Amino acid sequence: MSQMASPRTDERAAGTATAATAGAMGHNLPAPPAVAQASRRAAMSVGFYRAAWYKLRRDPVTLGAAAVLGLIVLITLIAPLITEHVLHTAPERMVRGPDGRFAILQPPGVGYPLGTDDLGRDVLTRLLHAGRVSLSIGFLVAIISVVIGTAAGLVAGYLGGWVDDLVNAMIQLISNVPFLFVLIILSVLLRPDVMLLSVIFGIFSWPGTARHVRGVVLSARSLEYVTAAQVLGASSWRIMTRHILPNVANIVMVVAGFAVAGAILGESALSFLGFGVQVPLASWGNMLGGSQEMFRRAPWLVYPPGLMIFATVLCVVLVADGLRDALDPRVR
Amino acid sequence: MRDFVIRRLIQSALLLWVVMSLTFVLVRLTPGGPEAAMLEQPNIEPADVERLRERFGLNDPLPVAYVKWLGNAVRLDFGRSYHYLRPPLDVMGERLWPTVQLGATAYAIGLLGIPLGVLAALHRGRWPDLGIRVFTVVGDAAPNWWMALVIIVVLANLTGWFPQGQGRGSPGTWFLHIIIPALILGLGGVVAFARYTRSQVLEVLGQDHVRTARAKGLTEGAVARRHVLRNALTPAITLLGGLLPVLISGAAITEAIFNWPGMGRLFLEAALTRDYPLLLAIVTMLTLATLLGTLLADLLYGFVDPRVRYR
């Protein structure tokens, strides 16, 4: 799945992640980056987000990736329009070749630019529709992961004590479960639809967000304006939402990006094995599922879905990476 | 130190218990159990299914079944696999060796990431760094099971041959069969190791003792060898534990694609046939392996880095 899914994408932020876990175990590792402090410094000059945008504008790789990603999202959003009015097909309909007969396992040609599959369906049409499913799962998982992860990391980091212990125990539990294996059991047992699948992925992906958020909150908690707010008698809720949450926004944006990438990879792997999105609904992963048996006859089925996954994940990762650099005030 | 180990062992045991209980309840509570898979076979009668349910203890109420199962599992008795009609651990034992072969080869390939990471860090911002960065980003984004498919398609079209299963016979055949799945599986490791090593080396490069070493006139090579690498590379040991579950779970897909007769494929088969005793045994043993791997990594970390204090 990350392959699998997300575990591997999480490694990307390994530095911070290890610092957070190891720190909890008393390892002598450096403190998490002082995002908050530095952002104040930047705010004195041009404003934090404007400075970030200024840096981003000089980063052609990130901008290019964002443009390609935007294009992919746009095309999948209007997929029904394209397939109906331009290609004159539907994802579940058999297409006919130029000779008027059903086109089954045809290589790319007139009427079916990417060929047809074993049921005579147009690959391009299914590819576009599959993108809707794969991308929805990616973004849904990111939303779930960000909401739960931020809330958990925030209360754990700020309140400490038993809340912290509880959140840490849950993080420990989830990150020690053999993720892919439980995922497969769950999907065999629950036969999940897209929504439920996203929720399951989200449950496995929020600990990564929570760890990062908790690390930032721990350092933000001891800032002077937080102490000032405490002295003035502000409630914990107010301090968390008004004074600490803004510090977390940057890291959350970046982590959310990796959550999207991880979920798309994870979904595709799970669906490829036949445990994720179920046919006839197409996803990039399950389009590849059957292709292995007939790759000698129909190698054209193998390339397009994989390339779409690759391109989408690559763009998401590059944008998240670029955002991280742009939002990191230490990088000038 | 001793207290740390004891406390971590207790924690791990608790985690294992929670995971075991959750999977057990999950598996037992959901409808469409193994009888659904059994009934798909043509020559089985509903009466047979009822008899089998009784024999496998599927008619026990949940708490009774749970206590029975947990009590036996503690003694490493996971009942009998529905499909193989043998104890799950025996079945797993046969699949363990191929998985270990594949995992170990993949891990060895993954270690190549360490020199890559060092190279990138020592040439920060110049072309080796950029090249390696492109490699890690691409390696992250390309679904490796898809790369496996593409390799199979290309190989099959070019040579008519592609690796399927474990090669029998000469070491050459064995190597031909293991190297491609291992490369695919190890790629994730290369990427993770390279990125991790790079950030570690960069961090040490910024420390005071490195500046001192440079200030006293050592050459860059000597600084790197004597003062940077030793400090930067020791934490890589912690990845040893962290990569273990990645290798094992990554193996499920790689093994499925290459028909490798290992644990991952066994698990997929068990999931499809709803072989509950086998499923539960595999999840339990994998969780145990993950927990022990993490603990081992933490202990090793303290062993190589005297600044670490266990508490």
Q: So where are chain A's domains?
A: 48-327
Here the tokens at position A97 are: 């070749």
For residue B82, the SS3 value is coil
Task: Check if the beta carbon of residue A92 is closer than 8 Å to that of residue A101.
Answer: no
Cβ neighbors of A4 (< 8 A, separation 6 or more) are A179, A180, A265, A266, A269, B249, B250, B253
- How far is the C-alpha of A187 from the C-alpha of B280, rounded, in Å? 15
pLDDT band of B310, cuts 50, 70, 90: low
What's the total number of domains in chain B? 1
* CA-to-CA dists, residue A239 to A33, A222, B287, angstroms: 21, 12, 39
Question: Domain residues for B156?
Answer: 95-263
Which residues in B lie closer than 8 A to residue A30 (C-beta atoms)? 203
Selecting from B195, B282, B309 the residue whose C-beta is nearest the C-beta of A12 gives: B195
The upper half-sphere exposure of residue A41, i.e. CA atoms within 13 Å in the direction of its Cβ, equals 10
Contact B188 A3 (CB under 8 A): yes
pLDDT in tens, B174-210: 788 888 888 988 888 899 889 888 888 888 888 888 8
Residue at B183 is within a domain: yes
User: What's phi and psi for A122, nearest 5 deg?
Assistant: -70, 125
pLDDT in tens, B76-118: 888 888 778 888 888 888 888 888 888 888 888 888 988 999 9
- How far is the C-alpha of B185 from the C-alpha of B191, rounded, in Å? 11
Q: What is the mean pLDDT of residues B18-43?
A: 74
Here the tokens at position A98 are: 């130029």
Residue at B69 is within a domain: no
DSSP H stretches of helix in A273-302: 284-289
pLDDT of residue B247: 62
Which residues in A lie closer than 8 A to residue B141 (C-beta atoms)? 261, 310, 313-314, 317
Residue at B121 is within a domain: yes
Mean pLDDT, rounded, of chain B: 82
Here the tokens at position A327 are: 């939002």
Residue at B278 is within a domain: no
Counting beta carbons within 10 angstroms of the beta carbon of residue A294, is it exposed (0 to 12), middle (13 to 18) or buried (19 or more)? middle
Which residues in B lie closer than 8 A to residue A269 (C-beta atoms)? 143, 145, 253
Selecting from B23, B235, B291 the residue whose C-beta is nearest the C-beta of A176 gives: B291
Q: What residue type is assigned to position B20 of the chain?
A: M
Which residues in B lie closer than 8 A to residue A272 (C-beta atoms)? 145-146, 253
Query: Residue B235 is part of a domain; what is its CATH number?
Result: 1.10.3720.10
Counting residues of chain B whose pLDDT is more than 90, the rounded percentage is 2
pLDDT of residue A5: 36
Contact A185 B290 (CB under 8 A): no
- How far is the C-alpha of A164 from the C-alpha of B114, rounded, in Å? 34
Q: What residue type is assigned to position B283 of the chain?
A: V
Q: Which residue of B has its CA nearest to A189?
A: B30
Task: Check if the beta carbon of residue A3 is closer than 8 Å to that of residue B144.
Answer: yes
Task: Check if the beta carbon of residue B58 is closer than 8 Å to that of residue B34.
Answer: yes
pLDDT of residue B35: 65
Q: Which of B222, B186, B184, B230 is nearest to B204 (CA)?
A: B230
- How far is the C-alpha of B28 from the C-alpha of B53, rounded, in Å? 12
How close does chain B come to A281, measured CA to CA in Å? Answer: 20
pTM: 0.82
Q: Is A3 on the interface with B (CB under 8 A)?
A: yes
Which residues in B lie closer than 8 A to residue A268 (C-beta atoms)? 143, 146
Q: Which residues of chain A have pLDDT under 50?
A: 1-31, 42-43, 332
Residue at B140 is within a domain: yes
More confident residue, B130 or A95: B130
**pLDDT reading at B311 higher than 60:** no
What Rg, from alpha-carbon coordinates, does chain A have? 23
Residue at B126 is within a domain: yes
pLDDT of residue A152: 94
pLDDT of residue B42: 66
* CATH 1.10.3720.10 assigned to A48-327: yes
DSSP H stretches of helix in chain A: 5-11, 14-24, 35-45, 48-57, 60-77, 79-81, 123-159, 161-176, 179-190, 194-220, 224-231, 236-238, 245-272, 284-289, 303-327
Q: Which of residues 249-268 of A touch B (CB under 8 A)?
A: 261, 265, 268
